Amino acid sequence: MLVAPHGLGHYWKTHYADKTFEHLYRWNTFDTCMLIPYFIVMVILAFYGIHRYQLVWLYYRNKKNQAKWDEPPARFAESELPFVTIQLPIFNEQFVVDRLLEAICNLDYPRDRFEIQLLDDSTDETRTVARDLVERYASGAMGMAPQPIVYLHRTDRHGYKAGALDKGLDVAKGELVAIFDADFVPPPQWIMQVVHHFAEPEIGMVQTRWTHLNRNYSFLTQVEAILLDGHFVLEHGGRSRSGVFFNFNGTAGMWRRKTIGEAGGWQHDTLTEDTDLSYRAQLVGWKFKYLQDVECPAELPIEMTAFKTQQARWAKGLIQTAKKILPQVLRSDAGWHTKLEAWYHLTANISYPLMIVLSVLLMPAMIIRSWQGYLQMLLIDFPLFMASTMSVSTFYLVSQKELFPHAWHKKILYVPFLLALGGIGLTITNTKAVMEALFGVKSAFARTPKYRVKQKGEKSQAKVYRKRLGIVPWIELGLGAYFAWTVWYAVSTENFFTVPFLLLFVFGYWYTGLLSLLQGRFERSGNAGQEMHEKPYPIGI
Each residue of 123-164: pLDDT tens digit?
999 999 999 999 999 999 998 999 999 999 999 999 999 999
Residue 249 has pLDDT above 70, yes or no: yes
| Residues 25 and 372: beta-carbon distance below 8 Å | no
pLDDT of residue 393: 87
Q: Which residue in 120, 166, 274, 381 is the catalytic one? A: 274
Residue 325 has pLDDT above 60, yes or no: yes
What percent of the chain is predicted at pLDDT more than 70? 84
29-57 pLDDT, tens digit per residue, is 777 787 888 889 988 998 999 999 999 99
Is 274 designated active site? yes
Instruction: Say what the pLDDT of residue 362 is.
Output: 81
Q: Is the pLDDT of residue 466 over 90?
A: no
Select the more confidently predicted residue: 496 or 346.
346
Q: Is 88 helix (H, G, I), strand (E, B) or coil?
A: strand
CA triplet 108, 111, 115: central angle to 5 degrees?
A: 100
Report the pLDDT averaged over residues 191-209: 98
Higher pLDDT, 152 or 385: 152
Q: Over the Cα atoms of the chain, what is R_g?
A: 25
pLDDT-derived band at 427 (thresholds 50, 70, 90) equals very high
Tell me the CA end-to-end span of the chain in Å, nearest whole number.
Answer: 49
Q: CA torsion, points 56, 60, 62, 65, in degrees to nearest 10? A: 110
Angstrom distance (rounded) from CA 478 to CA 496: 23
Neighbours of 152 (CB within 10 A): 18
Contact 168, 152 (CB under 8 A): yes
Q: How confident is the model at residue 1 (pLDDT cuts 50, 70, 90)?
A: very low
Question: pLDDT tens for residues 209-247?
Answer: 999 999 999 999 999 999 999 999 999 999 999 999 999
The pLDDT score that the predictor gives to residue 202 is: 97
Q: What is the mean pLDDT of residues 481-500?
A: 84
- Number of helices (H) and strands (E) in the chain: give both, helices first: 21, 7
Q: How many Å apart are CA 267 and CA 161, to the nearest integer? A: 10
- How many other CB atoms are found less than 10 A from the CB of residue 518? 11
User: Is pLDDT of 331 > 90?
Assistant: yes
Predicted local confidence at residue 385, as pLDDT = 67
Name the amino acid, one letter, at 319. I
For 215, phi and psi rounded to 5 degrees? -55, -40
Residue type, 387: A
The residue ranking higher by pLDDT, 211 or 534, is 211
- So what's the pLDDT on residue 498? 76
DSSP reduced 3-state for 150: strand
Kindly tell me if the per-residue pLDDT of 17 is higher than 50.
no
Q: What are the DSSP calls for 262-317, one per residue?
A: HTT----SSS-HHHHHHHHHHHTT-EEEEEEEEEEEEPPP-SHHHHHHHHHHHHHH
Nearest-angstrom CA–CA distance, 228 and 250: 14
Using CA atoms, how far residue 334 sits from 66, 337, 348, in Å, is: 21, 8, 20
SS3 255: strand
Q: Which residues, in sequence order, are CB contacts of 343 under 8 Å at separation 6+?
A: 326, 329, 330
Q: How many residues does the chain have?
A: 541
pLDDT computed for residue 376 by the predictor: 62
- For residue 259, the SS3 value is helix
Q: What's phi and psi for 291, nearest 5 deg?
A: -105, 95
Task: With a cut of 90, say whether residue 435 has pLDDT above it.
Answer: yes
Q: Place 307 in a pLDDT band, splitting at 50, 70 and 90.
A: very high
Give me the pLDDT at residue 10, please.
41
Residue among 98, 120, 121, 381 flagged as catalytic:
121
Residue 61, sorted as left (phi over 0), alpha (psi -120 to 50) or beta, turns out to be: alpha
Does the pLDDT of residue 476 top 90, yes or no?
Answer: yes
Q: What is the pLDDT of residues 251-287, one digit of tens each?
A: 999 999 999 999 999 999 999 999 999 999 999 999 9
Q: How confident is the model at residue 6 (pLDDT cuts 50, 70, 90)?
A: very low
Query: Average pLDDT of 469-486?
Result: 90
User: Given this model, what pLDDT does residue 494 score?
Assistant: 74
Distance CA(86)–CA(530), nearest Å, equals 29
**Burial grade of 499 (CB within 10 A; 0-12, 13-18, 19 or more):** middle
Q: What is the DSSP string of 368-437?
A: HGGG--HHHIIIIIHHHHHHTHHHHHHHHHHHHHHH-TTTGGGGGGGHHHHIIIIIIITHHHHHHHHHHH
Give the CA diameter of the chain.
90
Residue 106 has pLDDT above 80, yes or no: yes
The predicted pLDDT at position 384 comes to 67
CB neighbour list of residue 489: distance below 8 Å, 6 or more residues apart: 363, 366, 367, 495
Q: Provide the pLDDT confidence category of residue 492 given band limits of 50, 70 and 90.
A: confident
d(CA 349, CA 434): 7
pLDDT band at 500 (very low <50, low <70, confident <90, very high): confident
Pairing of β 253-256 and β 176-179 = antiparallel
The DSSP symbol for 116 reads E
Q: What is the pLDDT of residue 96?
A: 94
Q: Give the CA count within 13 Å in the CB-facing half-sphere of 280.
A: 17
Q: Angle at CA 179, nearest 5°, toward 117 and 464? A: 80
CB atoms within 10 A of CB 353: 17
Distance between CA 171 and CA 18 in Å, rounded?
81
The whole-angstrom distance between residue 49's C-alpha and the CA centroid of its chain comes to 17
Residue 7's pLDDT band, with cuts at 50, 70 and 90, is very low
Q: Which amino acid is at 296?
A: C
Q: How far is CA 80 from CA 199, 308, 420, in A?
A: 10, 45, 52
Active-site residue flag, 121: yes
88-124 as b/e: b if 16+ CB within 10 A: bbbbbbbbbbbbbbebbbebebeeebbbbbbbbbbee
Residue 194 has pLDDT above 70, yes or no: yes
**CA–CA dist 312, 323 (Å, integer):** 17
Of 474, 463, 471, 467, the C-alpha closest to 514 is: 474
pLDDT band, very low/low/confident/very high, at 538 (cuts 50, 70, 90): very low
CA 419 – CA 412 distance, rounded (Å): 12
pLDDT at 380: 62
**What is the rounded CA–CA span in Å between residue 213 and residue 296?**
9
Q: Pick the closest to residue 99 from 128, 129, 124 (CA basis).
A: 129
